[in-house]
Amino acid sequence: MTTVLQTLAALRRRPLRTFLTALGTALGIATIVALLAVAGGAQRTAGKFLNLGSSDLGVFQRDAADPTTSVLPVSLVAQLRATPGIASATPIILIVGGIKHQPAAFVFGAQQHSFVTNRYVFTAGHMFGGSHQAVVGSGLAADMHLRTGDALTVAHHRFHITGIYHMGVAQQDDGAVIPLTDAQKITGKIGEATTLAVSLNSITSRTQGVRIITRRFPGLLVIGDGVSAARAGVNGQMLAHLSLVLAVIALVIGGIGVMNTMLMAVVERRAEFALMSAVGWSGPQIATRVMIEGITTAVLGAALGLLIGILGAHLLVRLLGAQEYVAPAITAWVLGRALLVGVLLGVLGGLYPAWRAARVSPAQVLAQR
């Protein structure tokens, strides 16, 4: 306890140096927090998108930039339906940003009679029965004050609202559904779909379903959970790898910064350490004090970095223009990992200076004076 108090007193005697060292750590931590939060938000969005009418699996184009840009031929539906273990399959077209006043709302193009649309619970009206008709989710209806009989404009095309549904899935309740053929015309994907939603039979698990489809259709990407969806696209993989790379860079650069500052402090305080050694402090005790200084400074920087990172995550999403689609996910796991990096910075940066401080010789210091 005495060592800790003495360490804190030493840090207070050099406030500017302590602040600058902590700031360097804070910037690295902030970058990690911001990227992890944005990546987590993208994962949540992907997981919601995957939950198409409570489907078991989503089939996408392999190597698409992300699941929303996938393009598949509708002819695959018949082949999937004939595959053992699959109860049903249906094509889905996804239109992003099609509703002018609600750019975050997803518009799904779906077949009128499919296992996806058959699971909708209508609180008003009924399922569409023909072209240029639409049904809207309860969330979108509330936000835009829509009722049955009103008109909804999707990508400059007017649709007559025949019903309002509720699914309990935010991404769908905040969106709308139009006939598949209309969605194909709007997007120019005649005979194509964004994804194929798959329902498995009662004796086939998701893991088995993924294995069966992947084996029969090696060119397809089969997703069974939100984590897989987040990793599915090139963009998701790039974001995940970038977060890891920056975490390593932050460790290296931050560790060097902490080490350099602590090493300068050790050189300047050689007389102090020599005196401590002369009055009975052992080498390990002196090294422990220096290590505590490094870790304390890094943790202070990490705390500041957490705050900057949370604000930076929201700013990053706004700068990218993605705030309508991705909300940064600030979780305890994200903050915990960032704090762990801060502690590691203090440990790595304090190792060499602590070793140097423990080897300070009182006789050499006195001889140089």
- 46-68 burial by CB neighbour count: b if 16+ within 10 A, else e? bbbbbbbbebbbbbbbeebebbb
User: What percent helix, strand, coil does the chain show, rounded to 5?
Assistant: 55, 15, 25
* pLDDT tops 70 at residue 224: no
Say which residues have a Cβ less than 8 Å from residue 263's Cβ, sequence separation at least 6.
352, 353, 356
Average pLDDT, the chain: 77
* pLDDT tops 90 at residue 133: yes
pTM for this predicted structure: 0.57
Would you state the pLDDT for residue 29? 74
Let me know: does 39 contact 331? Beta carbons within 8 Å.
no
More confident residue, 98 or 281: 98
Domain boundaries, the chain: 2-45+236-368, 57-223
Per residue in 304-333, pLDDT (tens digit) is 878 887 887 777 767 766 555 566 767 777
Per residue in 162-199, pLDDT (tens digit) is 999 988 777 788 889 999 999 999 999 999 998 888 88
Let me know: does 198 contact 58? Beta carbons within 8 Å.
yes
Instruction: Kindly list the distances between the CA atom of residue 105 and the CA atoms of 49, 52, 97, 101, 177, in Å, as whole numbers in the listed order.
Output: 11, 14, 7, 9, 11
